[in-house]
Structure 1
Amino acid sequence: MGVVGTVESGPSSSSVDAISASASRNQLEHQGVSGAFAPLTENMPSEAGLAFLSRLTQNAKAREHFLSPLGAEVAVDLTDGLRISLEMGRTLHLRPSGNAPEFRVYVEATNEAEAQNLLNRALKMVKIGLANN
């Protein structure tokens, strides 16, 4: 499965075809937050993404296990996917695309390096989760 990513100053090291996240980036910069975005691509069936997201949403133990290398959950918001506030002001937002065979991963952190680090770790966990679904 291919990975595509964009972070503040440019694409992540694992990116194939950078995706622009400039609108989100501009909104985050006004809030003093750095962000990153990456869809997992290559004909990712919507059903697989929805099943994975449903498991994380409905099963607190599965979510805790998924988050263990990323940080402790502070709050959960189910608007437009699964948005998890993590400790130290970081955010992880997971959602299947509504118009493409993609599963999207968005992160927010206090600086670009932390956002990139969280994105890389989150992508790894999402790939594992989707493979095991």
Structure 2
Amino acid sequence: MKRIILAIAACIGLSSIASADQWYGDRAYIRCNPDVQRAIYDRRVTSAYDHYMRYGQSENRVTDGRCSAYDAPYWFVEQCYLLRNPDVRSALRGGDFLSGWHHYRVHGQYENRAIECK
């Protein structure tokens, strides 16, 4: 019975991505989401795909490796964001994110992080 439930869960998980060919592999996912590598190392998830299914999909994380972590819009000033959010600055140094914009896209916008230089 347990195997059947796991098989059904796996099928549902695969179908939740628009199509299976949209998963470009763990390497591509980790390239755009370096915090996932730490989650795997800390055994919070078993793989990049596991992270995507649990968290990344609902967070609209990039799966194809073509991340725009450095292509922030005009209204986002990296230096201000890092100044107002010193924990993000530490996370960048630790390699958890590629840039302040990357952090903001993944977490900051949902946490109502300050982005202005005031």
With normalisation by structure 2, the TM-score equals: 0.29
Which of the pair is proportionally richer in helix? Answer: 2
Which of the pair is proportionally richer in strand? Answer: 1
